[in-house]
Amino acid sequence: MASKKSYVKDYMTENVISVSPETKTDEIINLMKESHHNSYPVVKNNKLVGMVTAFDIVAKEHAETVEGIMTSELVVANPDLSINDASRVMFRRGISRMPVVDEDYKLVGIITNTDMVRSHIERSTPNKVEYFKNTLEQLYGIKTVLKHMRVETDKLRPTQDRVYADELEGRTYELEMGLAEPAIVVKSGDRWILVDGHHRAVASSQKGYKTVDSYVIDLCQDIKLGMEKTADKAGIKCFDDIEIIDDDKHPLIALTESIQDQASKGDDE
């Protein structure tokens, strides 16, 4: 599965709420309360002329209209800019939202940090799936079928005996925000074996979600995988059999903090 190049136009939000330079500052405050957005493009004569943010309202001297507080020197993107280049620009400039304009400077969308995360997930997960798919085919001498589909949560057979509470909290947030990457599932006979994505699947179960977004590798026959045999021996049949570790942090987080602690001690010596 080749990784195709992605562009800003593939991930930007097109229906953007904008305001005009003549919009009253008090109206912007109310708009922010109602929409829960903290910044808006400013458009005049169908062209982007600025951005107004919550910071502008709080930090700058009060003005009756948006024109008096908006930022007019902007970093903007073209719809055909690659998503990688756009993310580099946003990171280096320290901005979380970037207006997207056409050659006439007409506002056509907006790209955010959240969109960048989503693009990364959609590009990286298929490569991981393809690697696992090829491994299964070589290991068992078979041809498999790959499908991107939603799998009923109750049908998933876990193969991992524990998850971490802090990681589970993060995955729950990602699910609520629509950012969770798909799980990887192997269909063997009539069984749906969860290979990767246990924190996501457990979070889905706890939230009462009926299905889990998944990449399904269908073996087109009944083969007992090694990880399934290991789960059998451990007595792992359903999500209730998975232990949630809440008195310890995810190993990668603990390792990161350990490194930071060591660095801190070195500075003190």
Gap between the Cα atoms of 138 and 144, Å rounded: 10
Amino acid at 231: A
Say whether pLDDT at 137 is over 50.
Answer: yes
Give domain status of residue 3, yes or no.
Answer: no
Token output for 92: 């280096």
Residue 202 and residue 150 share a domain: yes
pTM (2 d.p.): 0.56
SS3 annotation, 161-219:
CEEEHHHHHHHHHHHHHCCCCCEEEEEECCEEEEEECHHHHHHHHHCCCCEEEEEEEEC
Q: The domain containing residue 182 runs over which residues?
A: 142-250
Distances (CA, A) of 20 to 8, 44, 76: 24, 6, 18
Give domain status of residue 86, yes or no.
Answer: yes
Give domain status of residue 163, yes or no.
Answer: yes
Token output for 106: 């007409």
Categorize the per-residue pLDDT at 122 as very low, low, confident or very high, splitting at 50, 70 and 90.
low
Residue 2 pLDDT:
42
Give domain status of residue 255, yes or no.
Answer: no
Gap between the Cα atoms of 34 and 216, Å rounded: 40
Residue 191 and residue 112 share a domain: no
- Other CB atoms within 10 A of residue 76 CB: 17
Residue 228 and residue 158 share a domain: yes
Residue 107 and residue 200 share a domain: no
Give domain status of residue 124, yes or no.
Answer: no
Gap between the Cα atoms of 195 and 184, Å rounded: 5
Give domain status of residue 112, yes or no.
Answer: yes
Comparison of pLDDT for 240 and 255, the residue scoring more: 240
How many CA atoms does the CB half-sphere of 190 hold within 13 Å? Answer: 0
The whole-number average pLDDT for the span 138-149 is: 92
The total domain count for the chain is: 2
